[in-house]
Amino acid sequence: MPSMPSILTDARSILTDLIARYASRVDYLAIRLEEAEGTDILLRGGKVETLSEGLSIGGQVRACYKGGWGFASFNKITSLTERIEEAIAAARLVGDEETLLAPIPILQETYTLPLTGTDPRHVPLTRKKELCSHYAEILRSIDDRIATTSVRYGDSVQKILLATSEGTLIEQSWVDMEMRFAATARNGETVQTGRETTGSRKAYEDLEHLDEQVRSAAQRAVDALALPPVKGNTYTVVIDPILTGLFVHEAFGHLSEADMTYENPDLMEVMTLGRRFGSPDLQIFDGAAPEGHRGSYAYDDEGTPATTTQLIKDGVLVGRLHSRETAGKLGEAATGNARCLNYHFPPIVRMTNTWIEPGTTPVDRLFDGIKEGVYARNWIGGMTNGEMFTFTAGEAWMIRNGQMAEPVRDVTLSGNVFTTLGDIEAIGDDFFWDESGGCGKGGQSGLPVGCGGPSLRIRNVVVGGEAVEEE
């Protein structure tokens, strides 16, 4: 779209001039302009509920004075001067301490996240809608007992220009795509749901040819109608890489975000660096530096270069995720984890791609010696509340005498994340990246993230028979 480069390119000198004019009134000033375009399609029961293409242009101003922040967002560039003055006035009103921002390299860079295939902007809206209708038809065709179906498609292209009073001037752009599928089967009082989600920052082709994945979501819902519910108990559980990715992101990753710990002294005490949380085989990382994932980028929304941060090394907590402010206040290095969903929101500490490294146990040996346990795969929903988590598996089987046995339904896995990390008995030698994540925090929902991991064997997991549908 030819207009996108021109507006931001023209704005460079304007931003530089405005920052030069106002920088002396605060300790730190940042202006972030954004152009975004995207497509949103929602089909329920094969009928179109949403079919839209949109273009938005806007920006935000952040000012910091004596540790106090002022923020203003706008969608008229002509009002930029007033917004700068508003943000500065707000910062000067609340600031009464010291501005502590961890140092970062000051860069002037332009970066476009590379695509490996077709840009969704080059695909007509009619073709995207046909793809959704095709998948909706697959969901419905599996069985007469499929009561409701939904197919969501979304793509967005964001182009950002960030200028700061320290001299940073970064232009960055990326494309993100996501599809979500759900089918609910009903038989009398029994209702079961199957879900699949996928996403990409690489190519429109990644959303095509998903027939098998879509079919399996509907088939799981139908198959589960006839299955017995799991008998609630405490079991040794083996989970697949998708559930591992969900667990490391939801249950552990959020607790690694330094704004969570900084604002909560009790959590800060628990999340003490150097504390052991798991076996010497356990390694956990987060970072936007690995290329090709949903949470990958070159610079965060404060202009900090992307990194890879080891959170747990050999079972011991060794790192956490930072913005420049949380890093400054805790005397640690900025990790490049300050992200905002769009120009309406200030950047806050967010995960990027979060994963557990594979271990050495062959996957087929993870069941060894389990007299009675549960094997759980994929997920339907989940919730976390501080240290506690509850996830609902997409499909599950009993393990009997070291072998996979009969399938069961309504398998929820609950526990305390710190206890559960310590209860990991074996780490599989497999690994899978799940690019389906849309993370929510602080009112900013749907931020693209990646998560991954190997299969895990965990003892003492509370397994109950009630589905958690929230995502």
What per-residue confidence (pLDDT) applies to 6? 55
What per-residue confidence (pLDDT) applies to 437? 75
**Same-domain check for residues 217 and 244:** no
**Same-domain check for residues 274 and 212:** no
pLDDT (tens digit per residue) in 324-348: 999 999 999 999 999 999 999 999 9
Domain boundary residue among 225, 249, 272?
225
What per-residue confidence (pLDDT) applies to 373? 98
Domain-located, residue 470:
no
Q: How many domains does the chain have?
A: 2
**Same-domain check for residues 297 and 198:** no
> What is d(CA 378, CA 396) in angstroms, rounded to the nearest whole number?
9
Q: Are 106 and 324 in contact (CB under 8 A)?
A: no
**Same-domain check for residues 210 and 253:** no
Handedness of CA 202, 204, 209, 210 (dihedral sign): positive
What per-residue confidence (pLDDT) applies to 282? 98
Domain-located, residue 469:
no
Domain-located, residue 118:
yes
Angle between helices 125-141 and 211-225 (to 10 degrees): 30
**Same-domain check for residues 24 and 168:** yes
What per-residue confidence (pLDDT) applies to 8? 76
Output the domain CATH number for residue 123. Answer: 3.30.2290.10
Q: Which residue has the tokens 């499909």?
A: 395
**Same-domain check for residues 77 and 212:** yes
Q: What domain range is 93 assigned to?
A: 3-225
> What is d(CA 154, CA 38) in angstroms, rounded to the nearest whole number?
7
The maximal CA–CA distance of the chain, rounded, in angstroms, is 73
Domain boundary residue among 225, 245, 264?
225
Q: Are 18 and 81 in contact (CB under 8 A)?
A: yes
Domain-located, residue 434:
yes
* 445's tokens: 């929902």
Q: Of the candidates 375, 403, 411, which has an alpha carbon nearest to the alpha carbon of residue 224?
A: 411
Amino acid identity, position 277: F
What per-residue confidence (pLDDT) applies to 71? 98
**Same-domain check for residues 177 and 216:** yes
Domain boundary residue among 183, 207, 225?
225
**Same-domain check for residues 143 and 239:** no
What per-residue confidence (pLDDT) applies to 9? 73
**Same-domain check for residues 64 and 165:** yes
Q: Where are the alpha helices (DSSP H) in 96-210?
A: 125-141
**Same-domain check for residues 333 and 406:** yes
Domain-located, residue 471:
no
> What is d(CA 204, CA 213) in angstroms, rounded to the nearest whole number?
16
What per-residue confidence (pLDDT) applies to 466? 54
Q: Are 198 and 212 in contact (CB under 8 A)?
A: no
What per-residue confidence (pLDDT) applies to 468? 52
> What is d(CA 86, CA 73) in angstroms, rounded to the nearest whole number?
10
**Same-domain check for residues 290 and 248:** yes
**Which residues of the chain fall below pLDDT 70?**
1-6, 465-471
**Same-domain check for residues 182 and 267:** no
